[in-house]
Chains A and B, each alone.
Chain A
Amino acid sequence: AQSVTQLDSHVSVSEGTPVLLRCNYSSSYSPSLFWYVQHPNKGLQLLLKYTSAATLVKGINGFEAEFKKSETSFHLTKPSAHMSDAAEYFCVVTGNTPLVFGKGTRLSVIA
Protein backbone atom coordinates (compact mmCIF):
# COMPACT_ATOMS: atom_id res chain seq x y z
CA ALA A 1 0.00 0.00 0.00
CA GLN A 2 1.06 3.56 -0.61
CA SER A 3 0.55 6.65 1.51
CA VAL A 4 1.87 10.17 1.59
CA THR A 5 2.09 12.73 4.38
CA GLN A 6 2.50 16.42 3.78
CA LEU A 7 3.95 17.73 6.97
CA ASP A 8 2.62 21.28 6.75
CA SER A 9 -0.92 22.28 5.88
CA HIS A 10 0.13 25.91 5.39
CA VAL A 11 3.46 27.56 4.63
CA SER A 12 3.98 31.29 4.42
CA VAL A 13 7.12 32.87 2.93
CA SER A 14 8.21 36.31 1.86
CA GLU A 15 8.72 37.03 -1.81
CA GLY A 16 12.29 36.30 -2.81
CA THR A 17 12.97 33.85 0.02
CA PRO A 18 13.36 30.07 -0.34
CA VAL A 19 10.41 27.68 -0.37
CA LEU A 20 10.39 24.27 1.31
CA LEU A 21 7.30 22.06 1.20
CA ARG A 22 7.81 18.77 2.99
CA CYS A 23 6.51 15.36 1.97
CA ASN A 24 7.10 11.87 3.35
CA TYR A 25 5.86 8.75 1.63
CA SER A 26 5.31 5.09 2.32
CA SER A 27 5.30 2.48 -0.39
CA SER A 28 5.66 -1.28 -0.63
CA TYR A 29 6.92 -0.91 -4.16
CA SER A 30 9.49 1.22 -5.90
CA PRO A 31 7.46 4.39 -5.96
CA SER A 32 6.86 7.04 -8.53
CA LEU A 33 6.41 10.42 -6.92
CA PHE A 34 4.86 13.62 -8.18
CA TRP A 35 4.19 17.17 -7.12
CA TYR A 36 1.07 18.87 -8.46
CA VAL A 37 0.09 22.51 -8.06
CA GLN A 38 -3.43 23.92 -7.96
CA HIS A 39 -3.99 27.63 -8.34
CA PRO A 40 -7.27 29.05 -7.04
CA ASN A 41 -10.30 27.87 -9.01
CA LYS A 42 -8.09 25.89 -11.37
CA GLY A 43 -7.37 22.24 -12.06
CA LEU A 44 -4.22 20.44 -10.96
CA GLN A 45 -1.04 20.87 -12.97
CA LEU A 46 2.00 18.61 -12.82
CA LEU A 47 5.08 20.37 -11.42
CA LEU A 48 7.55 17.49 -11.57
CA LYS A 49 7.85 13.73 -11.26
CA TYR A 50 10.33 11.13 -10.04
CA THR A 51 10.33 7.73 -11.71
CA SER A 52 13.56 6.05 -10.53
CA ALA A 53 15.94 8.04 -12.66
CA ALA A 54 17.93 10.94 -11.19
CA THR A 55 17.12 11.57 -7.54
CA LEU A 56 17.12 15.35 -8.00
CA VAL A 57 14.21 16.26 -10.21
CA LYS A 58 13.74 19.64 -11.82
CA GLY A 59 10.28 20.87 -12.68
CA ILE A 60 8.55 23.88 -14.07
CA ASN A 61 8.75 27.42 -12.69
CA GLY A 62 12.06 26.81 -10.93
CA PHE A 63 10.85 24.11 -8.57
CA GLU A 64 12.81 20.98 -7.81
CA ALA A 65 12.53 18.00 -5.51
CA GLU A 66 14.96 15.45 -4.18
CA PHE A 67 14.07 11.80 -3.69
CA LYS A 68 15.70 10.46 -0.52
CA LYS A 69 14.99 6.78 -0.10
CA SER A 70 16.71 6.54 3.30
CA GLU A 71 14.45 9.26 4.65
CA THR A 72 11.37 8.30 2.55
CA SER A 73 11.08 11.96 1.66
CA PHE A 74 10.39 13.96 -1.47
CA HIS A 75 10.53 17.60 -0.41
CA LEU A 76 9.75 20.38 -2.87
CA THR A 77 12.00 23.43 -2.97
CA LYS A 78 12.47 26.68 -4.84
CA PRO A 79 15.33 29.13 -4.24
CA SER A 80 13.26 32.28 -4.50
CA ALA A 81 9.50 32.57 -4.10
CA HIS A 82 7.41 34.63 -6.46
CA MET A 83 3.95 36.00 -5.82
CA SER A 84 2.59 33.76 -8.56
CA ASP A 85 3.71 30.68 -6.60
CA ALA A 86 0.88 31.16 -4.12
CA ALA A 87 -1.23 28.03 -4.55
CA GLU A 88 -2.04 24.61 -3.12
CA TYR A 89 0.62 21.94 -3.61
CA PHE A 90 0.00 18.21 -3.55
CA CYS A 91 2.55 15.47 -3.07
CA VAL A 92 1.53 12.24 -4.80
CA VAL A 93 2.80 8.66 -4.70
CA THR A 94 2.04 5.65 -6.82
CA GLY A 95 3.42 2.13 -7.02
CA ASN A 96 1.04 -0.41 -8.39
CA THR A 97 -2.12 1.59 -7.78
CA PRO A 98 -3.51 4.87 -9.07
CA LEU A 99 -2.15 8.06 -7.61
CA VAL A 100 -2.43 8.58 -3.87
CA PHE A 101 -2.66 12.28 -3.02
CA GLY A 102 -1.50 14.04 0.11
CA LYS A 103 -3.85 16.48 1.81
CA GLY A 104 -2.07 19.46 0.32
CA THR A 105 0.04 22.38 1.52
CA ARG A 106 -1.19 25.89 0.97
CA LEU A 107 1.68 28.22 0.09
CA SER A 108 1.22 31.92 0.79
CA VAL A 109 3.73 34.45 -0.54
CA ILE A 110 3.97 37.77 1.22
CA ALA A 111 5.11 40.86 -0.66
Chain B
Amino acid sequence: DAGVIQSPRHEVTEMGQEVTLRCKPISGHNSLFWYRQTMMRGLELLIYFNNNVPIDDSGMPEDRFSAKMPNASFSTLKIQPSEPRDSAVYFCASSLRRENNEQFFGPGTRLTVL
Protein backbone atom coordinates (compact mmCIF):
# COMPACT_ATOMS: atom_id res chain seq x y z
CA ASP B 1 0.00 0.00 0.00
CA ALA B 2 1.25 3.49 -0.79
CA GLY B 3 0.14 4.89 2.54
CA VAL B 4 -1.78 8.11 2.97
CA ILE B 5 -1.26 10.39 0.00
CA GLN B 6 -1.47 14.15 0.23
CA SER B 7 -1.22 16.78 -2.46
CA PRO B 8 0.24 19.19 -3.03
CA ARG B 9 3.31 18.76 -0.82
CA HIS B 10 3.99 22.48 -0.87
CA GLU B 11 1.66 25.36 -1.61
CA VAL B 12 2.52 29.04 -1.72
CA THR B 13 -0.33 31.44 -2.28
CA GLU B 14 -1.29 35.02 -1.69
CA MET B 15 -3.66 36.25 0.94
CA GLY B 16 -7.26 36.09 -0.21
CA GLN B 17 -6.79 33.18 -2.56
CA GLU B 18 -8.61 29.89 -2.25
CA VAL B 19 -6.53 26.89 -1.23
CA THR B 20 -7.54 23.24 -1.60
CA LEU B 21 -5.61 20.44 0.05
CA ARG B 22 -6.22 16.86 -0.97
CA CYS B 23 -5.94 13.52 0.78
CA LYS B 24 -6.27 9.89 -0.25
CA PRO B 25 -6.51 7.59 2.79
CA ILE B 26 -5.24 4.05 2.98
CA SER B 27 -7.61 1.68 1.22
CA GLY B 28 -9.96 0.00 3.67
CA HIS B 29 -9.61 2.62 6.38
CA ASN B 30 -12.93 4.15 7.33
CA SER B 31 -11.81 7.07 9.49
CA LEU B 32 -10.00 10.15 8.23
CA PHE B 33 -8.51 13.03 10.17
CA TRP B 34 -7.21 16.48 9.25
CA TYR B 35 -4.58 18.12 11.48
CA ARG B 36 -2.72 21.40 11.46
CA GLN B 37 0.76 21.80 12.90
CA THR B 38 2.43 25.10 13.79
CA MET B 39 5.32 26.01 16.02
CA MET B 40 3.06 28.05 18.27
CA ARG B 41 0.12 25.69 18.68
CA GLY B 42 1.63 22.29 17.97
CA LEU B 43 -0.55 19.59 16.41
CA GLU B 44 -4.27 20.39 16.31
CA LEU B 45 -7.11 18.15 15.18
CA LEU B 46 -9.30 20.12 12.80
CA ILE B 47 -11.96 17.62 11.78
CA TYR B 48 -12.51 13.92 11.43
CA PHE B 49 -14.77 11.69 9.37
CA ASN B 50 -16.09 8.23 10.00
CA ASN B 51 -17.46 6.35 7.00
CA ASN B 52 -17.29 9.61 5.00
CA VAL B 53 -19.49 11.46 7.53
CA PRO B 54 -18.04 14.42 9.47
CA ILE B 55 -18.19 13.51 13.15
CA ASP B 56 -16.51 16.42 14.89
CA ASP B 57 -15.47 19.69 13.28
CA SER B 58 -15.02 21.64 16.50
CA GLY B 59 -11.35 22.10 15.71
CA MET B 60 -11.99 23.97 12.49
CA PRO B 61 -10.79 27.48 13.29
CA GLU B 62 -13.23 29.55 11.27
CA ASP B 63 -15.90 29.45 8.62
CA ARG B 64 -13.16 30.04 6.08
CA PHE B 65 -12.22 26.40 6.57
CA SER B 66 -14.31 23.58 5.15
CA ALA B 67 -13.71 19.87 4.59
CA LYS B 68 -15.46 17.27 2.52
CA MET B 69 -15.22 13.56 1.99
CA PRO B 70 -17.28 12.68 -1.08
CA ASN B 71 -16.20 9.05 -1.04
CA ALA B 72 -14.08 6.61 0.93
CA SER B 73 -10.93 7.33 -1.03
CA PHE B 74 -10.80 11.11 -1.18
CA SER B 75 -11.06 14.14 1.07
CA THR B 76 -10.42 17.84 0.66
CA LEU B 77 -9.69 20.67 3.06
CA LYS B 78 -10.47 24.08 1.64
CA ILE B 79 -9.53 27.51 2.94
CA GLN B 80 -11.33 30.45 1.41
CA PRO B 81 -10.13 33.15 1.61
CA SER B 82 -6.69 32.27 2.91
CA GLU B 83 -4.81 34.47 5.39
CA PRO B 84 -1.12 34.58 6.42
CA ARG B 85 -1.98 33.08 9.82
CA ASP B 86 -3.16 29.93 8.02
CA SER B 87 0.45 29.15 7.14
CA ALA B 88 1.19 25.75 8.64
CA VAL B 89 1.75 22.11 7.80
CA TYR B 90 -1.52 20.28 7.26
CA PHE B 91 -1.57 16.53 7.84
CA CYS B 92 -4.13 13.99 6.83
CA ALA B 93 -4.32 10.66 8.67
CA SER B 94 -6.47 7.57 8.37
CA SER B 95 -7.31 4.62 10.58
CA LEU B 96 -9.47 1.52 10.65
CA ARG B 97 -11.68 3.00 13.36
CA ARG B 98 -11.88 6.43 14.88
CA GLU B 99 -10.98 5.31 18.41
CA ASN B 100 -8.21 3.22 19.85
CA ASN B 101 -6.65 2.51 16.52
CA GLU B 102 -3.36 3.85 15.40
CA GLN B 103 -3.52 6.53 12.79
CA PHE B 104 -1.36 6.51 9.70
CA PHE B 105 -0.17 9.94 8.68
CA GLY B 106 0.49 11.38 5.28
CA PRO B 107 3.64 13.42 4.56
CA GLY B 108 1.79 16.70 5.00
CA THR B 109 1.19 19.81 2.93
CA ARG B 110 3.29 22.84 3.82
CA LEU B 111 1.13 25.90 3.19
CA THR B 112 2.57 29.39 3.00
CA VAL B 113 0.18 32.30 2.64
CA LEU B 114 1.94 35.55 1.73
A interface, CB within 8 angstroms of B: 32, 34, 36, 42-46, 49, 51, 90, 94-99, 101, 103-104
**In the bound complex, how far is the Cα of B96 from the Cα of A91, in angstroms?**
20
Which one of B11-19, B78-86, B104-112 is at the A interface? B104-112
A104/B42 in contact, CB under 8 A = yes
B interface, CB within 8 angstroms of A: 4, 31, 33, 42-43, 45, 48, 56, 91, 93, 98-100, 102-108
A43-B105, A45-B105 known; A51 and B100 CB under 8 Å? yes
B99/A98 in contact, CB under 8 A = yes
CB B10 to nearest CB in A, in angstroms, measures: 10
B91/A98 in contact, CB under 8 A = no
B99/A43 in contact, CB under 8 A = no
B43/A98 in contact, CB under 8 A = no
Total number of residue pairs linking A and B with CB closer than 8 Å: 41
Give the interface SS of chain B, mostly helix, strand, loop or mixed. strand
A49-B102, A95-B99 known; A44 and B48 CB under 8 Å? no
**In the bound complex, how far is the Cα of B101 from the Cα of A96, in angstroms?**
11
B42/A101 in contact, CB under 8 A = yes
List of B residues within 8 angstroms of A99 by Cβ = 45, 103
A90-B43, A98-B45, A104-B42 known; A44 and B91 CB under 8 Å? yes
B91/A32 in contact, CB under 8 A = no
B42/A34 in contact, CB under 8 A = no
